[in-house]
Structure 1
């Protein structure tokens, strides 16, 4: 182990020895003074025996504690973690007020936030040196959470001010999750059409249950389909078989420039909008004959589209801009698809940017360590 760790462990043992000896001597003196004040010889002998018994007990405790420490002492990393819990450590609090949901939905919310809990844990690492070489030891100080009927509290293991930040875009994801339950659901199919230059418009039906955003998939790790790019919204659609040849060509040769998707309005839920269609992929197979036979049997061609708001550039930070520019109905729908618990349970979110001292030993009951 390093010099500082060795010095700390040595000082701990020395202080333990000194403390036990002092306690034993003090108690022996106290019982000796009481013995001299006793007028009855029998009472004096009792206090004398008690004093020596107390001193012997302290010595036995000292020897036993030393042997236990030597044989079963925690490694330096575990010791450092234990000291952090004992003396408290800086932690950021995240408070999530919940809607009236079932216990199963609350537990599902905790599972959906597992990436957040894991990424904000703290790692302790120490190097242990022996005569035959050395090795590293690790210990994890996890984030803790406390779940009640109306609130989920999170205390991070690592504070944001220690070079650690929240997972990318997690505040925005939580902000979109807040009160998402009040946003009306999109219908299963939404009429739209592809407009590509002089080619006749291609009608299609967007399947809202397949809408997905890469940023939401990254945060919840529950993606349901391959996504085309980080700054696009992926969604599947059904296209009439009359347009199979154009779709097959677009899949093999690319869409070209200035191809738009015009989406019809859904009254009271989604306004009409226009998006850039940047990717189009036929689903099912790479062989043309197989694709055509399947489309003919189903009565439609299944495609996956990659959409972006008009003018959105694929550059660093475009994921945040995508969340801002998309209509809230789309972001909430994508959130419901990838993590229904986040969309239904979260009412309000409060993230404290300044850390405060925390220890699960002193913060009250109900705190649970997050799984690594």
Structure 2
């Protein structure tokens, strides 16, 4: 069971692999990630997998370098190899310290996985983290996908401990004689997640019962299944309806011999990606009106993402939907990530279309 959680195919018998895959543990030195590293280290001795670790030093607190060095030493003591410390500079770009630190951290982990050839990166999020995420989503007025919380798997990232309580990771560390580091920001009331962790959830547990965190976790699992299904349906509708106009000549996407986009294996992809996206996406208005609201909003959001934008807010999606009412302005409506949407009036159809056929046009702005 543990092997399955770690993404390792195990028969339960020791069968060393000739070329075992490398799995990395993202470890801060805290109890959750240190317990995860200790569990993963068990498989090193079986020869089924190689387990390494990456410690990201965000340089946000005095003594962070010493904390990172201590975590790396503990990981090497568990038998993990390679163990790397990645020092990052957290940008202050207006997204807030937590979001900026997260962006820097995942950038470092992506780079380490690529350079080391890791098949997976394990993260130490627990059931309590999931409960906090659901509450934060409720506070922000988020939709189904956000309320689904932290996914157990996304790309190369896997969260094997998502069903465990935080207290259980502390017990693992105590049993194995490990001395985890306790991040002081986890109790800092300046951060909303810290207030949810130290004030809100304990209050709810006192008033509603100790099962509040597991209940929020179950809700997240149910909503995740719903969100996955709706996203799948929306993706099929987008593929059926969307007309994507290529970028201007000279910006065409170049493919590798295997048919994959060149940027898929190119370290310069972030700088080149916008040149390889479509310049425009068109969606027929009548077909959009015929969709259920939950699908319609997702299809509109997919058009924005297809142009390199980020997930629009609920308010921006409502503004885009208002174009379908054909009252007032024909746009453009500014969405997320320098993408705008307007409508083609029925009297101004494109030459290859009937003049009575309206479309919403999403454009990537310069």
Please tell me the TM-score bracket, short chain as reference: under 0.3
TM-score after normalising by structure 2:
0.20
Larger CA Rg, structure 1 vs 2: 1
| Greater fraction of residues in helix | 2
Instruction: Compare the two structures and name the one with the higher strand fraction.
Output: 1
Q: TM-score if structure 1 supplies the norm length?
A: 0.20
Determine which structure has greater relative contact order: mean sequence separation of CA pairs < 8 Å that are 6+ residues apart, divided by chain length: 1
